[in-house]
């Protein structure tokens, strides 16, 4: 579980990120989950965008994807959200 200070720090890092994963009308598929898992292992902090054609609410998608990938949901803003998971092999981000 992240503290408020850690979330603020991760949000500041996430401001400059571009979304690297898009969730469309098929919502969370095994392929999306695999890509998110790989990206989290490589980058630790990723930004994901929920497209307009997705029927579900972006907050629900963010929560389900965070639970499925064992990541922490940092922030949901509009249709974008940030996920964080510490890398097992090469940790890059040092949390305060």
**Whole-model pTM?**
0.94
What are the pLDDT digits (tens) for 24-70? 999 999 999 999 999 999 999 999 999 999 999 999 999 999 999 99
- The first and second tokens of residue 58, run together, are 């972006």
Domain boundary assignment for the chain:
4-84
Distances (CA, A) of 2 to 31, 69, 72, 96: 27, 16, 8, 10
4-84 to CATH, choices 3.40.50.300, 3.30.110.60, 3.10.129.10, 2.60.15.10: 3.30.110.60
């Amino acid at each position: 579980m992240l503290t408020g200070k850690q979330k603020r720090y991760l949000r500041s890092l996430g401001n400059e990120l571009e979304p690297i994963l898009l969730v469309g009308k098929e919502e969370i598929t095994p392929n999306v989950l695999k890509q998110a898992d790989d990206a989290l292992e490589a980058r630790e902090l990723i930004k994901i965008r929920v497209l307009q054609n997705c029927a579900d609410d972006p907050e629900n998608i963010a929560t389900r994807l965070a639970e499925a990938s064992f990541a922490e949901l940092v922030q949901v803003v509009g249709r974008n959200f940030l996920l964080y998971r510490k890398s097992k092999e090469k940790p890059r981000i040092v949390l305060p």
